[in-house]
Structure 1
Amino acid sequence: MESSKLLSLLRVCTSANSLRQAKLLRQRILAVGLQNDVVLCKSLINVYFACKDHFSARLVSEDNIDVQSDVYVWNSLLSGYAKSSMFNEALEVFRRLVNCPFCVADSYTYPNVIKACGALGREFHGRMIHSVVVKSGHVSDVVVASSLVGMYAKFDLLGDLVQVFDEMPERHVASWNAVMSCFYQSGEAEKAMEFLDRMERCGFEPNSVSLTVAVSACSRLLCLERGKEIHKNYVKRRLFESDEYMSSALLDMYGKCGCLEMAREGFEHMPRKSLVAWNSMIRGFVGKGDSKSCIDLLSRMIIEGTRPSQTTLTSILMACSRSSNLQHGKFVHCYVIRSFVEADVFMNCSLIDLYFKCGEVKLAETIFAKTQKDVVESWNVMISGYVSVGDWLKAIEVYDQMVSVGVKPDAVTFTSVLPACSQLAVLEKGKRIHLSIRESGLETDELMIGALLDMYSKCGDVKEASRIFESMPKKDVVSWTVMISAYGSHGQPREALHHFDEMQKLGVKPDSVTFLA
Structure 2
Amino acid sequence: MDTTKLLSLLRTSISSKSLLKGKLIHQKVVTLGLQNNIALCKNLINFYFSCHYYHYAKLIFKTLEDSLDLSLWNGLMAAYAKNYMFIEALEVFDRLVLHPFLKPDSYTYPSLLKACGGLGRVGYGQLIHTQLIRTGFVLDVVVASSLVGMYAKCKRFDYGIKVFDEMSERDVASWNTVISCYYQEGQAEKALELFGKMRDSGFEPNSVTLTMVISSCARLLDLERGKEIHEKFVKEGIAFDSYVGSALVDMYGKCGCLEMAREVFDQMPVKNVVAWNALIAGYSSKCDSKSCIELFRRMNEEGVKPTLTTMSCILMSCSRSAKLEHGYVTVGDYFKALALYGDMKESGVKPDAITFTSVLPACSQLAALEKGKEIHKYIAESELETNEIVMGALLDMYAKCGAVDEAFRLENPLSISTMWFSHRKRLLEEDG
For the 8 Å contact 1:78–1:113, the answer to whether it is kept is: yes
Is the partner of 1:85 in helix, strand or coil?
coil
What aligned pairs does 1:98-109 form with structure 2 within 5 A after superposition? 98-109=97-108
Equivalent residue number for residue 16 of structure 1: 16
Look up the equivalent residue of 2:79 and give its one-letter code.
Answer: G
1:264-310 Cα distance to aligned partner (Å, 9 max, x none): 12222223333322222111101111110111112223334434334
Report deviation, 1:208.
1.9
Conserved? CA contact 1:114–1:148, under 8 Å = yes
Partner of 1:432: none
Give me the TM-score of the superposition, normalised by structure 1.
Answer: 0.70
For the 8 Å contact 1:215–1:227, the answer to whether it is kept is yes
Q: TM-score, normalized by length of structure 2? A: 0.83
Alignment partners' CA distance in 1, 2:315 and 2:385: 16
**Structure 2 partner of 1:134:** 133
Residue correspondence of structure 1 range 409-420 to structure 2 within 5 A: 420=425
Cα distance in 2 between the residues matched to 1:356 and 1:128: 58
Question: Contact 2:77/2:108 (CA < 8 Å) preserved in 1?
Answer: yes
**For the structure 1 residues 119 and 418, does the alpha-carbon distance in structure 2 shift closer, same or farther, using more than 3 Å as the test?**
same
Structure 1 position 83 matched with structure 2 position 82: yes
Paired residues of 2:306 and 2:347 also in contact (CA < 8 A): no
8 Å Cα contact 2:284/2:317 also seen in 1: yes
Q: Which amino acid aligns with 1:379?
A: N
Identical amino acids, percent of aligned pairs: 46
Residue 7 (structure 2) aligns with: 7
User: AA paired with 2:136?
Assistant: G
CA shift, 1:385, in A, is 5.2
CA distance in 2, matches of 1:353, 1:185: 32
The runs of 5 or more residues in structure 2 that have no matched partner are: 323-332, 400-407
Relative to structure 1, the CA distance from residue 378 to residue 184 in structure 2 (aligned partners, 3 Å threshold; closer, same or farther) is farther
Identify which of 302, 307, 310 aligns with 1:309.
Answer: 307
1:253, distance to aligned residue in structure 2 (A) = 0.7
Worse overlay, 351-360 or 27-36 = 351-360
For the Cα contact (< 8 Å) 1:223–1:257, is it kept in 2? yes
Distance 2:21 2:49 in 1: 14
1:459 counterpart residue number: none
What amino acid sits opposite 1:328 in the alignment? Answer: K
Residue in 1 that maps onto 2:329:
none
Indicate how the Cα distance of structure 1 residues 374 and 314 shifts in structure 2: closer, same or farther if over 3 A, else same. Answer: closer
Find the counterpart in structure 2 of residue 57 from structure 1: 57
Could you tell me how far 1:235 is from its partner in structure 2? 3.5
Q: Does 1:349 align with 2:354?
A: yes
Instruction: Tell me if structure 2 keeps the 8 A contact 1:292–1:328.
Output: no
Q: Which residue does the alignment assign to 1:335? A: 343
Deviations, residues 82-118 of structure 1 (Å, cap 9, x unaligned): 1221111111011011111121111111111111111
Give deviations 1:7-32, integer Å, cap 9, x for gaps: 11111121122333333323332333
Aligned with residue 293 of structure 2, among 277, 292, 295: 295
CA shift, 1:201, in A, is 2.6
1:418 CA displacement: 11
CA distance in 2, matches of 1:375, 1:130: 47
Correspondence for 2:253: 255
Where structure 1 has 5 or more consecutive residues not aligned to the other structure, the ranges are: 392-396, 406-412, 425-512
- The answer to whether structure 1 residue 221 and structure 2 residue 230 are counterparts is no
Paired residue for 1:40?
40
Retained in 2: the 8 A contact 1:152–1:160? yes
Mapping 1:375-394, distance limit 5 Å: 379-382=387-390
Report the AA paired with residue 352 of structure 1.
T
**Contact 2:42–2:75 under 8 Å retained in 1:** yes
**Structure 2 contact 363–372 (Cα < 8 Å) conserved:** no
Helix, strand or coil at the partner of 2:379: coil
Equivalent position of 2:327 in the other structure: none
Identify which range, 27-36 or 124-133, moves more after superposition: 27-36
Residues 376 and 394 in structure 2, CA contact (< 8 A), matched pair in contact too: no
1:407-463: CA deviation from partner (whole Å, max 9, x where unpaired): xxxxxx9xx969959x99xxxxxxxxxxxxxxxxxxxxxxxxxxxxxxxxxxxxxxx
Counterpart of 2:264, as a letter, is G
Map 1:264-279 → 2, pairs under 5 A? 264-279=262-277
Q: Which secondary structure does the structure 2 equivalent of 1:194 belong to?
A: helix
CA distance, structure 1, for counterparts of residue 393 and residue 297 of structure 2:
29
Partner of 1:408: none
Deviations 1:66-88 (A, max 9, x none): 5x211110011111111221111
Partners of 1:343 and 1:140 in 2: CA distance: 50
Shift of 1:340: 5.2
CA contact (8 A) 2:307 2:349 kept: no
Is residue 97–residue 105 contact of structure 1 (8 Å, CA) maintained in 2? yes
2:389, 2:423 within 8 Å by CA — same for their partners in 1? no
Between the two proteins, the alignment pairs up a number of residues equal to 403
What does 1:458-469 correspond to in 2, within 5 Å? none
Separation in structure 1 between the aligned mates of residue 61 and residue 394 of structure 2, nearest angstrom: 66
Q: Are the structure 2 counterparts of residues 231 and 369 from structure 1 closer, same or farther at C-alpha, using a change threshold of 3 Å?
A: same
The yes-or-no answer on 1:114 pairing with 2:119 is: no
Instruction: Say whether the 8 Å CA contact 2:306–2:349 is kept in structure 1.
Output: no
Structure 2 counterparts to residues 360-509 of structure 1, below 5 A: 360=365, 367=375, 369-371=377-379, 379-382=387-390, 420=425
Q: Whose relative contact order is higher, 1 or 2, with alpha carbons under 8 Å and at least 6 apart? A: 2
CA contact (8 A) 2:249 2:275 kept: yes
Task: Label 1:275 to 1:31 Cα distance change in 2 as closer, same or farther (>3 A).
Answer: same
| Compared CA separation, residues 377 and 178, structure 1 to 2 (3 A) | farther
Q: Distance in 2 between matches of 1:193 and 1:364?
A: 50
Q: Give the CA deviation at 1:256.
A: 0.8
> Do the aligned residues in 1 keep the contact of 2:10 with 2:25 (CA within 8 Å)?
yes
Larger mean Cα displacement after TM superposition, 363-372 or 208-217: 363-372
Report the Cα offset of residue 146 of structure 1: 1.2
Residues 141-192 of structure 1: CA deviation (Å, up to 9, x unaligned):
1111111111111111111011111111211111111111232233332222
Change (3 A) 1:340 1:275: closer
Question: Is the Cα contact below 8 Å between 2:280 and 2:295 reproduced in 1?
Answer: yes
Tell me the equivalent position of 2:204. Answer: 205
Matched residue type, 2:95: R
Contact 1:90 / 1:116 at 8 angstroms: preserved in 2?
yes
Rounded Cα–Cα distance in structure 1 between residues aligned with 2:267 and 2:298: 15
Alpha-carbon distance in 2 for matches of 1:268, 1:14: 37
- Distance in 1 separating the partners of 2:227 and 2:26: 57
Name the structure 2 match of 1:97: 96
Q: Aligned pair in 2 of structure 1 residues 286, 128: CA closer, same or farther (>3 Å)?
A: same
CA distance in 2, matches of 1:182, 1:328: 43
Q: Give the C-alpha shift of residue 228 in structure 1.
A: 0.8
Change (3 A) 1:354 1:312: same
Q: Deviations over 1:227-259 (max 9, x none)?
A: 111111113532434x11111111111111111
Q: Which has the larger radius of gyration?
A: 1
